[in-house]
Amino acid sequence: MLRVLLVDDEPFIVQGLSVLIDWNKEGYEIAATAADGREALSYLRENKVDLIVADIRMPVMTGLELLETIRREGISDAYFVILSGYSDFEYAKQAIRYQCMDYVLKPVEKEELLEILRKVDHMTADTRREEENQQKFEKAYLARNVMALLFGKYDRMNLEYVKNHMHLSEGIRYIDIEFWDSMELEEREEGELRQMQRHLYQAALDFLKEDEGHCIFDVSQDEKRYDIGFLYCDYMAAKAGCGEKEYLEGMRKNMETVLQKPVRFLAGKKVADISQIAKSYSAACVLNSLEAFRVRKSIYFYEEEVQVHQGGIVLCKQSLDALIAAIEQNGKMQIRKSVEQLYEEMKQMGVVGDTVNLNINYLLFQLIHLATEQDDGVNQEEILHHISESSFEEGILRGSSVHLARFACEYAEYLAQLRKNVSRGVLSEIEREVREHYAENLTLRELSQKYFVNSAYLGQIFRKKYGVSFKDYLNNYRMEQAAQRLLRTDEKIYQIAQEVGYKDLDYFINRFIAAKGCTPAKFRKQSRK
């Protein structure tokens, strides 16, 4: 309902306006009445209305004075209609000056008033749509800046925008939220899964209320995952009068109740500041990548998964260290031997359940840190996802020595490749790839996956060495190869374009002009004079 304020010093006028039409039927309610402008002003300072209908001449404060005051002081942006018994153009001009919507002569005609109300209704709806669209844009823009921080690909402007448009505090962690029942999800069509994801997102928004900006739809770069992201801050639990775990479990249970489906949280490591949130996001991705090695829980905290407990829980550290050393040396036979020794030791000690999980988690995280020590530019969650796809096959249960040995051999190969990249320089390998495969669809992302290096990191060191992006470097190399073919062969230009990697002839010609300053035909003609 749109709220209306009627202002007139003559009670019978107010009464007449009240019964002239069926206000509720038109989508309006008379919120209040006032006998003069000052009384109306007092009401407007405390209450919001959508439409003000006021007499132009009243004691104490006139309708025009009321209009001027609320516009000048920014008290109300409500639509304003002046009532007057005088057809005075000067009055009308003054009213228009202060954004008066209409000027109506007394006695008010029913159809005229109805026309005004319907006009206000349409204008209000348009304004509301504009505001909603603006809110959607601002929300999407905030999400883009947050995701830039999550992926570690941000600049000062991204950081400042997030700090200025999001309520933050010390103690922040990224939390991945997703449905739990993988068997049910596998039976769903993509459209159903996307709809479920939207419901998941809405349930989170409804719980967070004014903190809904902390929830981001579809963060994961894996198109097969239908998750949402959530930036938890310590002030949220403090505001709710509880601890972090209690708050998150309450949120999770609330979402499960609403959705009637099991929901799980993957909570990345807590960081002190939003500028470090990429570390928390990376940790959450690692938790997801190690799913095959996890005990089923509703909430996974990174700190708990990597923590080594002492009280009664046995850590087979000697056997674990021997296995880590074998992996570092990339010795396949020794790896298998060390795995068997580890499982034999756990068997003899009666190690079962959570303790087995703890030992394997300790091993996995030590391996992750090994790679980081060699090169802090590597993308750990990407490589672990890659390894999980090749090693963590369905049907191989956690606790299997065969499973662990396979994983360890895979990771040993990865470390060996990483050492090779660090010692020889991955850029020399990229150069070779360009020389040998420049006509193919080479991308920095694919090369980064092949050599186990973060694509953003690879792009940075590539530009630092060559002064151009990988894409420009590849295009320039192709242009040089095209130029050589133009000079040394009589091949058609479209044939040369295809041979150097361009299916679109027009695009090839434009790139060639940009590189050589003339068309391929002119280049060939000038070079042969």
pLDDT (tens digit per residue) in 281-322 = 888 877 776 554 456 788 988 877 665 444 445 667 788 888
- My answer on whether 280 and 220 are in the same domain is yes
Q: Per the domain annotation, does 312 fall within a domain?
A: no
Q: What percent of the chain has pLDDT over 70?
A: 81
The beta-strand segments (E) located in 35-171 are 51-55, 79-84, 102-105
- My answer on whether 104 and 173 are in the same domain is no
What pLDDT was estimated at residue 81?
A: 92
Report the mean per-residue pLDDT for the chain. Answer: 82
Q: Per the domain annotation, does 462 fall within a domain?
A: no
- My answer on whether 188 and 290 are in the same domain is yes
- My answer on whether 11 and 73 are in the same domain is yes
For every residue of 453-520, DSSP letters joined together read --HHHHHHHHHHHHSS-HHHHHHHHHHHHHHHHHHH----HHHHHHHTT-S-HHHHHHHHHHHHSS-H
What pLDDT was estimated at residue 222?
A: 61
- Give the torsion through C-alpha atoms of 120, 126, 131, 137, to 10 deg: 180
- My answer on whether 124 and 217 are in the same domain is no
What pLDDT was estimated at residue 235?
A: 94
What pLDDT was estimated at residue 358?
A: 67
For residue 204, the one-letter residue type is A
- My answer on whether 174 and 252 are in the same domain is yes
Contact 358, 304 (CB under 8 A): no
Burial 404-424 (b: 16+ CB within 10 A, else e): bbbbbbbbbebbebbeebeee
- My answer on whether 73 and 204 are in the same domain is no
Cα 285 to chain centroid, rounded: 14
Neighbouring residues of 526: CB distance < 8 A, sequence distance ≥ 6? 518
Of 128, 158, 178, the position where a domain reaches its end is: 128
pLDDT digits (tens, 9 = 90+) for 89-121: 566 666 667 778 888 888 888 999 999 999 998
Q: Look up the CATH number of the domain holding residue 27.
A: 3.40.50.2300
- My answer on whether 111 and 172 are in the same domain is no
Q: Look at the chain and report how many structural domains it folds into.
A: 3
Q: Look up the CATH number of the domain holding residue 185.
A: 3.30.70.270
What pLDDT was estimated at residue 456?
A: 65
β-partners of residue 79 are 51
Q: Per the domain annotation, does 284 fall within a domain?
A: yes
Of 104, 128, 152, the position where a domain reaches its end is: 128
Q: How far apart are CA 33 and CA 7, in angstroms?
A: 6
Of 128, 158, 176, the position where a domain reaches its end is: 128
- My answer on whether 259 and 212 are in the same domain is yes
- My answer on whether 119 and 247 are in the same domain is no
- Which residue ranges in the chain fall short of pLDDT 50? 292-293, 308-312, 390-398, 423
- My answer on whether 120 and 228 are in the same domain is no
Q: Per the domain annotation, does 392 fall within a domain?
A: no
Q: How far apart are CA 35 and CA 14, in angstroms?
A: 9
Domain span including residue 267: 166-307
β-partners of residue 69 are none
Q: Per the domain annotation, does 523 fall within a domain?
A: yes
Q: Look up the CATH number of the domain holding residue 491.
A: 1.10.10.60
